[in-house]
Structure 1
Amino acid sequence: MVLIGVLALQGAFEEHETALRSCSPSISTVQIRTASQIRSLSLDGIVLPGGESTAMGLVGQVTESIWDELKKFINVDKKPAWGTCAGMILLAEKVVGASAVIVGGQAIIGGMDVLVCRNYFGSQISSFELSIPPPPPSSPTSSSPDLYPGVFIRAPAILSVSSDITVLSEVDAVPCRQANTTLEQLDERIARGEDVTMLGVKATDDEDNWRNDSKDGEEEGGAKKKRKVSGSPSETLTLPGATGKGGSRRVVCAARKGNVLCTSFHPELTEDLRWHEYWLREIVGADI
């Protein structure tokens, strides 16, 4: 029997449990809320679900040292981990667009040497579904019926990766207004030679318009209302709330480094189990 822990501080943890158990009768799950559970249970892997990354960070930092235990589990013991949407933010080494109201910025666990932009694709009303490439080893053409139904809800995006990261899926997308402002600041600081690890949001002339589209505190992975976006993964994606300034960027929405997988979309909110099967088979090493 394979035992998978699902972090249950906040977010779509029950949906992940259902999907994981649906992959094979040999898979069992447990909701993880304390550091002692991670120490005492013989977990074969852990999933950090979609939800609200700021809330997860705040709760995690005051919950019986669970943040330290997660860092040890993933980064020291090198146990299998998977972060979806908000979970991807938590596993990143660098985060921009962190909430300005949080002292010290977004609390992260780390493990993936990637630069993530929170809410790159926009606010809750910009949630969408887009056909994207399935997990390896399949590599169908863009017109293949085997493309994966990627669900993006107030989703982050990976802006850059280190040389030891394997990119599994990419899209061309125009950033939302707030993300574009953050990226402008980021580009300026990088041009000055700064090593940016954490960068908060900054109010802009577009802020009032942006606030009409997005309520502060809405879950990154909580809403299930979404729109379908037509086109292939190679086409540029422009959604309501996109600024149009600076043009589109090629961003990563799925990546892997050794024992860690990150996806900016929500496989747990579909009936397609291929990403769950990929993680269990290729990273956890489960016989499914």
Structure 2
Amino acid sequence: MQEPLIGVLALQGAFEEHQKCLEAVGCRTRQVRVPEDLTDLDGIVLPGGESTAMGLIGTATKTSEGETMWECLQKFSKNKPTWGTCAGMILLAEKCIGTSAVIEDGQSLIGGVDICVCRNYFGSQISSFEMATPPPPGISGNHDYPGVFIRAPAILSAGPSVEVLGTVSATPCRHAAVTLQELEKKIMAGENVVKMSVVDALERKSSQEVDYIVVVKSPAENAEEKKDSDETKPSIVLPGAADGTNAREVICAARKGHLLCTAFHPELTEDNRWHEYFAQMVKQTKL
């Protein structure tokens, strides 16, 4: 059987590094910039980088039929293995808080995985770090994986269809802490939070002086929620803070069927176990 052909979204971010890791575990690779590049791929990696920039580029690029790159990726990811790392993980999420105010309706998402992600949970670029994280299951080598976190997001909650592959205990940056505080208020008030805009926590003067965070919803979402309001209630559950600290247990790796998410940058290490794990996912789908 021919080795799988895996695309790496090359709109922005660390796509070349992912290619090298995938090729090191025996895969063929292709850079993906336009919808036509998705042809004949067995899977795709959505790399780390700047999710806002990728969202703007992805929604601006259109096919001759008028479909955006994002719409084509949504169709592709419904059936083919797709792995989002860091910014790519944000794009696969169904819910995102701390979204960018640059995009009119918040962060552009591809969706598909029932997770709630907090952008920049671990802080800014200068707050980048490496920490031990759980290794991918079923891959030789049980020692911890060197997770590289750069302006990294965190998964706050996951739906019942999502398999949690790894968690870490980490303190949110001040920016994220304010957003989480407001999110908790909204959940307690019974609101179904879909997207939340940015709060600049660095400008806070006291706990009482927190900007109100607007929940951004499309007319279709509002209509659907009104229709289902008597039948369903918000189900987001935030992990509790650890005793005596502001740390929370957050999810750093998760999987829903053929969709894989990791909060860290596996392409920036010399440990290719996560790339081997995804390659196995792709091969199993081809059988």
TM-score by length of 1: 0.80
Q: Is the 8 A contact 2:31 2:37 kept in 1?
A: no
Query: How far 1:245 moved relative to its partner?
Result: 10
Aligned to 2:77: 74
Q: Is the 8 A contact 1:128 1:153 kept in 2?
A: yes
Q: SS state of the match for residue 147, structure 2?
A: strand
Q: Is the 8 A contact 2:175 2:202 kept in 1?
A: no
Q: Is the 8 A contact 2:258 2:281 kept in 1?
A: no
Specify which of 38, 47, 50 is matched with residue 48 of structure 2: 50
Aligned to 2:16: 14
Q: SS state of the match for residue 170, structure 1?
A: strand
CA distance in 2, matches of 1:21, 1:118: 30
Alignment pair present for 1:34 and 2:34: yes
Alignment pair present for 1:264 and 2:267: no
Query: How far 1:203 moved relative to its partner?
Result: 3.0
CA distance in 2, matches of 1:8, 1:102: 20
In the TM superposition, what are the counterparts of 1:171-190 in structure 2 within 5 Å? 171-190=168-187
Aligned to 2:57: 59
CA distance in 2, matches of 1:8, 1:261: 18
Query: How far 1:139 moved relative to its partner?
Result: 9.7
Aligned to 2:144: 147
Q: Is the 8 A contact 1:280 1:286 kept in 2?
A: no
Query: How far 1:201 moved relative to its partner?
Result: 1.2
Where structure 1 has 5 or more consecutive residues not aligned to the other structure, the ranges are 209-235, 238-243
CA distance in 2, matches of 1:245, 1:198: 30
Larger Rg: 2
Q: Is the 8 A contact 1:11 1:49 kept in 2?
A: yes
Aligned residues: 244
Query: How far 1:102 moved relative to its partner?
Result: 2.2
CA distance in 1, matches of 2:176, 2:110: 22
Give aligned-pair identity as a percent: 57
Alpha-carbon RMSD: 2.3
CA distance in 2, matches of 1:101, 1:264: 22
Query: How far 1:281 moved relative to its partner?
Result: 0.7
Deviations 1:246-276 (A, max 9, x none): 7211100000000100000011001101000
CA distance in 2, matches of 1:200, 1:284: 39
TM-score by length of 2: 0.80
Q: Partner letter of residue 54 of structure 2? A: M
Change (3 A) 1:245 1:183: farther
Q: SS state of the match for residue 155, structure 1?
A: coil
Q: Partner letter of residue 33 of structure 1? A: R
CA distance in 2, matches of 1:181, 1:46: 34
CA distance in 2, matches of 1:268, 1:279: 12
Query: How far 1:284 moved relative to its partner?
Result: 4.1
Aligned to 1:84: 85
Q: Is the 8 A contact 2:55 2:109 kept in 1?
A: yes
Considering Cα pairs closer than 8 Å and 6+ residues apart, tell me whether 1 or 2 has the greater RCO.
Answer: 1
Specify which of 189, 200, 208 is matched with residue 203 of structure 1: 200
Aligned to 1:126: 127
Query: How far 1:131 moved relative to its partner?
Result: 1.2
Query: How far 1:283 moved relative to its partner?
Result: 4.3
Query: How far 1:185 moved relative to its partner?
Result: 1.1
Aligned to 1:98: 99
Change (3 A) 1:30 1:258: same
Specify which of 161, 168, 172 is matched with residue 165 of structure 2: 168
Change (3 A) 1:96 1:104: same
Q: SS state of the match for residue 98, structure 1?
A: coil
CA distance in 1, matches of 2:17, 2:201: 36
Change (3 A) 1:37 1:205: closer
In the TM superposition, what are the counterparts of 1:229-248 in structure 2 within 5 Å? 247-248=246-247
